[in-house]
């Protein structure tokens, strides 16, 4: 594979090959193999689909690369080099797509690519992580802090809800039942009262959108005030993002039945796993932006959540779970 000199901004959702969001677990599984095998698997991906790299993928790798006393540093450097050589489409992060769709009223399908300024900064990180600019270093630190704050708020809310509602209320007969109840919750939050709607939208979106666009506070609040559940059909990516937020809020404290009829917790409720839910949620949201795209992952829980959207026909793409132990059989999953 030749060295990449620019970021691919031409991935299309209209041709025959699907656009495929790849996550950290998939790329890591590929890069743990020999260089020859890794290259062969990336070539298979390039042949079968348009590779899509999300900001969260690069952020996860970089944070891991700089972790103190990390014995796997060469692996994460190999992952960055693999991204550099694979020439993926570098897409915009979900919250920026929401700002364009929900606040500015744009049709985001016209362009899902990352803005030029951020693309240059990510390219700097991919190309030479040891020579980060002060801006890039500050960006990494800020995103890490944002993740910790979001996780803390989410777990605090889960604890409060769990105290108030009987356990039986969080048991569901199947995944479709859980998804329907999540849709009903979003409908209730959007339509019950203006106070509840604005409070919930502030919780899900307000802080992050305002941090990114401080001069657009009035427009953000206006969009929140005018939103209704039915009107979200006009901003379907935003609607699905909000549903995704709710799914990740409630899945760690909700149970559904498996094939044997036994209840199991939908997502691992342990604190260290919920830390990863913040990244997982962004991968799922990114995949939802592609009308006919794929989410390729070795994370079964992430694939499960994304699958809820395709099963409910809210997303025409598909979630593809590849066992990390069968990563060399990757091509057989891409059908």
Q: Is the dihedral of CA 248, 122, 24, 109 positive or negative?
A: positive
In this predicted structure, what is the pLDDT of residue 68? 64
Whose tokens are 């919250």? That residue is: 95
Element holding 150 (H helix, E strand):
helix 134-164
In this predicted structure, what is the pLDDT of residue 67? 74
Residues 148-178 as b/e (b if ≥16 CB within 10 A, e otherwise) read eebbeebbeebeeeeeeeeeeebebeebeeb
In this predicted structure, what is the pLDDT of residue 169? 60
In this predicted structure, what is the pLDDT of residue 13? 45
In this predicted structure, what is the pLDDT of residue 9? 37
Residue 240's nearest CA partner among 147, 101, 104, 106 is 101
Report how far residue 206's alpha carbon sits from residue 262's, in angstroms, rounded to the nearest whole number: 39
In this predicted structure, what is the pLDDT of residue 1? 32
Reduced to 3 states (helix: H, G, I; strand: E, B; else coil), residue 89 is strand
In this predicted structure, what is the pLDDT of residue 2? 30
In this predicted structure, what is the pLDDT of residue 153? 72
**Burial of 98 per CB tally in 10 Å (0-12, 13-18, 19+):** buried
pTM of the model: 0.88
Is 319 within 8 Å of 303 (Cβ atoms)? yes
pLDDT < 70 stretches in the chain: 1-15, 68, 133, 135-136, 139, 143, 157-169, 269-276
In this predicted structure, what is the pLDDT of residue 7? 37
């Amino acid at each position: 594979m030749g060295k990449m000199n620019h970021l691919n901004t031409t991935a299309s959702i209209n041709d025959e090959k699907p656009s495929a969001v790849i996550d950290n677990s998939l790329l890591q599984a590929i890069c743990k193999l020999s260089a020859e095998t890794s290259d062969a698997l990336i070539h298979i991906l390039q042949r079968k689909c348009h590779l899509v790299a999300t900001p969260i993928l690069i952020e996860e790798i970089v944070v891991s690369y700089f972790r103190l006393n990390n014995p796997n540093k060469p692996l994460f450097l190999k992952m960055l080099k693999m991204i550099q050589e694979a020439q993926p489409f570098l897409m915009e992060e979900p919250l920026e797509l929401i700002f364009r769709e929900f606040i500015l009223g744009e049709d985001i399908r016209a362009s899902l690519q990352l803005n030029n300024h951020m693309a240059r900064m990510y390219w700097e990180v991919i190309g030479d992580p040891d020579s980060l600019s002060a801006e890039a270093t500050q960006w990494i630190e800020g995103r890490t802090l944002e993740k910790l704050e979001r996780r803390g708020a989410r777990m605090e809310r889960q604890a409060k809800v769990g105290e108030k509602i009987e356990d039986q209320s969080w048991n569901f007969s199947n995944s479709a039942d859980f998804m329907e109840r999540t849709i009903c919750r979003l409908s209730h939050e959007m339509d019950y009262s203006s106070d509840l709607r604005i409070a919930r939208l502030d919780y899900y979106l307000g802080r992050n959108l305002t941090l990114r666009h401080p001069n657009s506070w009035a427009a953000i609040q206006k969009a929140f005030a005018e939103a209704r559940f039915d009107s979200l059909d006009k901003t379907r990516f935003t609607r699905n993002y909000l549903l995704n937020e709710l799914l990740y809020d409630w899945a760690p404290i909700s149970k559904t039945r498996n094939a044997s009829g036994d209840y199991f917790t939908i997502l691992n409720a342990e604190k260290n796993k919920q830390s990863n839910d913040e990244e997982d949620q962004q991968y799922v949201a990114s995949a939802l932006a592609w009308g006919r795209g794929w989410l390729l992952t070795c994370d079964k829980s992430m694939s499960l959540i994304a699958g809820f959207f395709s099963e409910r026909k809210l997303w025409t793409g598909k979630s593809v779970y590849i066992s990390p132990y069968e990563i060399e059989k990757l091509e057989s999953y891409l059908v």
